[in-house]
């Protein structure tokens, strides 16, 4: 996965709501655990 960023230092915080299946969520969690 890539990281988002801006060069102007004027980052804005946004809230995003989305639904995923439990198996997809588990897969994402496993991926992030291996990166830490």
Q: Token digits for 31?
A: 């991926």
Can you tell me the mean pLDDT for 10-36? 88
Cα distance between residue 33 and residue 30, in whole Å: 5
Place of tokens 């291996």: 34
- For the segment 3-21, what is each residue's pLDDT rounded down to a tens digit? 666 566 778 999 999 899 9
Cα distance between residue 23 and residue 14, in whole Å: 26
Closest CA to 30 of 19, 3, 22: 22
pLDDT of residue 26 exceeding 90, the answer is yes
- What was the pLDDT predicted at 23? 95
pTM recorded for the entire structure:
0.40
- Per DSSP, the residues of 1-36 read -PPP--SSS------------HHHHHHHHHHHHHH-
pLDDT of residue 35 exceeding 90, the answer is no
- What was the pLDDT predicted at 15? 94
């Amino acid at each position: 996965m890539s990281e988002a960023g801006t060069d102007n230092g004027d980052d804005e915080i946004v809230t995003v709501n989305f639904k995923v299946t439990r198996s997809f969520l588990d897969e994402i969690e496993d991926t992030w655990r291996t990166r830490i």
